[in-house]
């Protein structure tokens, strides 16, 4: 039994359901939505709620940014994807919004205004504190059920994410359920070989993930690339060259080198570092052995031998979890490591990719349909893999305990 409730635990027909979704999207200066990937991720949940009266809460950007705007365009895009009208009201919990909600019939879908237009939405508070807000007090009596389907913002203790769980029976939507199930499968590593592949520049995040998965004991190997690998090479006493040492120092990762050293010593043979790397010299790619890195050139990708080695290990894995790119993916000359690793992952038995740059690379390569799961959350997925408790999910668990009693 899950420690949270899902849509399967509640009646749906003609129920009044408040759903937190994540429709935050890149927009051009004219207010046109450039990418509707997050919209599409909520379709399974909305399809399952077709016989209910569904009110959606979402945000777009944040105050001070150029794309901090209304959700009128979002309602139109959602209407196109659902092939049914999604109403829009330029109000969150005022009388205009409440009257529109009361007038709804079974099958209706209504999108409320950008939640971040209400200043209290953006303050991190406990669910109990948020439940006392005007938003929760005004809207809660109008609903039978709260559904959180916004995994990507559930690492934030924001009002629309955690406030309603104190008053309303609460469930995870289909996307939230899939995120939790998939990421849990990766962290548990119950099938072997189970491999984590961690790259990118955020070495502190990746090291926290490594600590968590080794503590749990299910993962067989961690393959590191990018700045994460540079930190582990330094921890192993490898001369990475002055340019790369300066780069790591500039990111303030001196403490991470010490933690990496401890991880290497406590987990011999489990953390696999590149044997060769690609350097950037006058804009060109230069592959060299790891112990031949000159003092003045920056590591920009994993080398060809490492690509072959990592790809073989990944293809043979029963479970592979990836987060972060292997090199400067935006530069065609240094995209090879990331490209080959992602292609190899599609051939493993079960592949999970974190959000952010990883999902962007997957989408650019057209590999999304070949992955078992591509997370919609960058910060949320790395927090979950790190073993952090996500406020949005914890609020659902507490609501489930109350409901079951």
Residues annotated within a binding site:
22-24, 38, 59-62, 116, 156, 330, 355-358
Task: Decide: 295 and 241 in contact? Cβ < 8 Å.
Answer: yes
The Cβ of residue 272 has, within 10 Å, a number of other Cβ atoms equal to: 19
Task: Decide: 43 and 81 in contact? Cβ < 8 Å.
Answer: yes
Name the E strands within 236-379: 271-272, 276-281, 284-289, 299-302, 319-323, 350-353, 373-374
Annotated binding site for substrate: 22-24, 38, 59-62, 116, 156
What is the C-alpha to C-alpha distance for residues 64 and 47, in angstroms, rounded to an integer? Answer: 34
Q: Is the peptide bond before 166 cis (omega within 30 degrees of 0)?
A: no
For strand 86-88 and strand 109-111, is the pairing parallel, antiparallel, or unpaired? Answer: parallel
What is the C-alpha to C-alpha distance for residues 228 and 324, in angstroms, rounded to an integer? Answer: 9
Task: Decide: 183 and 384 in contact? Cβ < 8 Å.
Answer: yes
The helix-helix angle for 378-385 and 203-216 (nearest 10°) equals: 40
Annotated binding site for ATP: 330, 355-358
What is the C-alpha to C-alpha distance for residues 297 and 286, in angstroms, rounded to an integer? Answer: 10
Annotated binding site for (2R)-3-phosphoglycerate: 38, 116, 156
Task: Decide: 224 and 232 in contact? Cβ < 8 Å.
Answer: yes
The Cβ of residue 230 has, within 10 Å, a number of other Cβ atoms equal to: 30
Q: What 8-state DSSP symbol labels residue 119?
A: G
Q: Which of 37, 354, 35, 41 is nearest to 173 (CA)?
A: 41
For strand 53-57 and strand 16-20, is the pairing parallel, antiparallel, or unpaired? Answer: parallel
The Cβ of residue 269 has, within 10 Å, a number of other Cβ atoms equal to: 8
What is the C-alpha to C-alpha distance for residues 257 and 194, in angstroms, rounded to an integer? Answer: 25
Residue with tokens 């001070």: 64
**Burial of residue 67, with CB atoms counted within 10 A of its CB: 0-12 exposed, 13-18 middle, 19 or more buried:** middle
The helix-helix angle for 391-404 and 174-188 (nearest 10°) equals: 110
| Partners of 53 in beta bridges | 16
């Amino acid at each position: 039994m899950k420690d949270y409730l899902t849509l399967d635990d509640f009646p749906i027909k003609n129920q009044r359901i408040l759903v937190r979704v994540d429709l935050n999207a890149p927009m051009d200066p004219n207010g046109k939505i450039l990418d509707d990937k997050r919209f599409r991720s909520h379709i399974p949940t909305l399809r399952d709620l077709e016989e209910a009266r569904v009110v959606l809460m979402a945000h777009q950007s944040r105050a001070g940014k150029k794309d901090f705007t209304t959700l009128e365009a979002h309602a139109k895009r959602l209407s196109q994807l659902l092939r049914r009208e999604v109403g829009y009201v330029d109000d969150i919990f005022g009388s205009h919004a409440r009257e529109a909600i009361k007038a709804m019939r079974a099958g209706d879908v209504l999108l409320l205004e950008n939640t971040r237009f209400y200043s209290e939405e953006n303050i991190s508070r406990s669910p109990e504190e948020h439940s006392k807000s005007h938003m929760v007090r005004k809207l809660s009596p109008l609903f039978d059920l709260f559904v959180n389907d916004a995994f990507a913002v559930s690492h934030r203790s924001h009002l629309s994410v955690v406030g309603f769980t104190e008053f309303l029976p609460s469930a995870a939507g289909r996307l939230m359920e899939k995120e939790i199930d998939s990421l849990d499968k990766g962290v548990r590593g119950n099938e072997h070989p189970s491999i984590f592949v961690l790259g990118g520049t955020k070495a502190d995040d990746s090291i926290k993930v490594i600590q968590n998965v080794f503590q749990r004991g299910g993962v067989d190997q961690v393959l590191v690339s990018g700045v994460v690998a540079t930190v582990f090479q330094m921890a192993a006493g490898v001369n990475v060259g002055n340019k790369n040492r300066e780069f790591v120092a500039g990111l303030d990762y001196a403490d991470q080198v010490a933690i990496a050293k401890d991880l290497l010593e406590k987990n011999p043979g489990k953390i696999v570092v590149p044997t060769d790397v690609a350097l950037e010299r006058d804009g060109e790619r230069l592959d060299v052995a790891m112990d031949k890195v000159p003092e003045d050139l920056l590591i920009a990708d994993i080398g060809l031998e490492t690509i072959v080695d990592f790809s073989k290990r990944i293809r043979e894995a029963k479970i592979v979890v990836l987060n972060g790119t292997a090199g400067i993916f935006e530069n065609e000359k240094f995209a090879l490591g990331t490209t080959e690793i992602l292609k190899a992952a599609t051939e493993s038995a079960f592949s999970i990719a974190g959000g952010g740059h990883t999902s962007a690379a997957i989408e650019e390569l057209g590999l999304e349909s070949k992955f078992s799961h591509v997370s919609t959350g960058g910060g949320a997925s790395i927090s979950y893999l790190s073993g952090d408790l996500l406020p949005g999910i914890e609020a659902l668990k507490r609501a489930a305990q109350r409901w079951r009693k």
